[in-house]
Structure 1
Amino acid sequence: MIYLLTLIAVASRFLPHPPNFACIGALGLFAGCYVAGRRAYLVPLLALAASDILGQMFAVSGLGFYRPEQMLFVYLGMAASVAIGRLGRRSNSAEQPSVSWQRFPLTVLAASTVFFVVSNVGVWLGPWYATNLSGLLSCFTAAIPFYGYTIAGDFFFAGAMFGAMELARSGAAAMPKPAIGTTGTIVR
């Protein structure tokens, strides 16, 4: 499922959407919850890199390569969503990983907020704002509309991804198991 979601995340960046209403952050939360080990960090970062590479190749506005120091902060903000996704898991380690729906709203809001702060520090360090407190406040003030879109997109896509996974799991668990006869054949 993670491979399909990664492809969808890459493709979604090419569809018309409000700025920052994207599913890469939600993909990071999802990978943090369900993908084991460090490779979870690769999921959103590779999706982001693949869409940036394709965006650069096809000259898609808003995608592609730009100031490396700002891209670094965007990628760091996305990587943080994986760590935050790990905090959104149910605490029972005996089970397979699953989302804690009680923590879900706070987890999504935290990922959106961390991305907002980290990525906008990168913008502030760029050439557009003075590198003082006034410039930082101006940068963050100008970015507030993007923050709203980030929150909306993260809630929408994370809800869809986590909901689909939990629904698929509950559907698979509810399916009747075939009985095995004494001769080893399946009895229906």
Structure 2
Amino acid sequence: MFYVLFLIATATRLMPHPPNLVCIGALGLFAGCYLRGRSAWLLPVGAMLASDVIGHVFRLPGMGFYNPAVFCMVYAGIAGSAMIGRRLSNNRTAVRIGGAAVASSIVFFLVSNLGVWFAGQYPPTAAGLIACYTMAIPFLTNTLIGNLLYSAVLFGTYEFSQSQWPSRLTELVSKQPALQPVFARKS
């Protein structure tokens, strides 16, 4: 199952999408919640790396390898989502998952844009740091939307598949009498 999620997360970065509206942060939350050890952060970081390699090879805009300071901080922000997801493992409610998606978005925003500032893309002053964060607010909005949307899909689908509902639905359907053809004549 996690291999499929890896492929889906990688694909969301390769398909046309608004900047930062991808599955990677939600995958980090999900992996942090359900996987143990290094796998929890390696899954989202690996999906990001795979998509960056593919983006670099095929010269996709906005993807590939870039300034090492920014690159490292972006990956640290992604690994942070797995650490936040770990806090969900004992108590997964919709409110907590939503809160974790918001927290993950904010951590990613703060860490990745600190890397942008460190890389010298803004003046090395407090005003430069404020300008860096201010200019990145549209990216935060997309990250929030992506993390909330994909977290709902990942956690919701998994929890539904683990519940008794799928087996109950199968049982209900199998107990229904065969439907009569619509055009059958009554005798």
Please indicate the TM-score interval, normalised by the length of the shorter structure: 0.7 to 0.9
| Match in the other structure for 1:66 | 66
Aligned residue among 88, 105, 108 for 2:98: 105
| Match in the other structure for 2:3 | 3
Measure, in 1, the Cα distance between the counterparts of 2:135 and 2:75: 21
Measure, in 1, the Cα distance between the counterparts of 2:62 and 2:144: 19
Q: Which amino acid aligns with 2:150?
A: F
Determine if contact 1:90/1:100 at 8 Å carries over to the other structure. no
Measure, in 1, the Cα distance between the counterparts of 2:140 and 2:166: 38
Measure, in 1, the Cα distance between the counterparts of 2:87 and 2:138: 27
Q: Deviations over 1:67-92 (max 9, x none)?
A: 1111000000000000000112234x
Determine if contact 2:160/2:166 at 8 Å carries over to the other structure. no
| Match in the other structure for 2:51 | 51
Structure 2 unaligned segments of length 5 or more: list them: 170-187
Structure 1 unaligned segments of length 5 or more: list them: 92-98, 177-188
Measure, in 2, the Cα distance between the counterparts of 1:90 and 1:40: 15
| Match in the other structure for 2:128 | 135
Alpha-carbon deviation of 1:174? 4.2
Normalising by structure 2, what TM-score? 0.86
Q: Deviations over 1:23-75 (max 9, x none)?
A: 10000000000112222111001000000001000000011000111100000
Which one has the largest radius of gyration?
A: 2
Measure, in 2, the Cα distance between the counterparts of 1:46 and 1:40: 10
Identity %, equivalent residues: 45
What do you get for the CA RMSD once the two structures are aligned?
A: 1.5
Measure, in 2, the Cα distance between the counterparts of 1:173 and 1:11: 27
Structure with the largest fraction of helix: 2
Alpha-carbon deviation of 1:104? 1.4
Alpha-carbon deviation of 1:14? 1.0
Measure, in 1, the Cα distance between the counterparts of 2:166 and 2:87: 25
Alpha-carbon deviation of 1:175? 5.5
| Total equivalences in the alignment | 169
| Match in the other structure for 1:145 | 138
Aligned residue among 83, 102, 114 for 1:121: 114
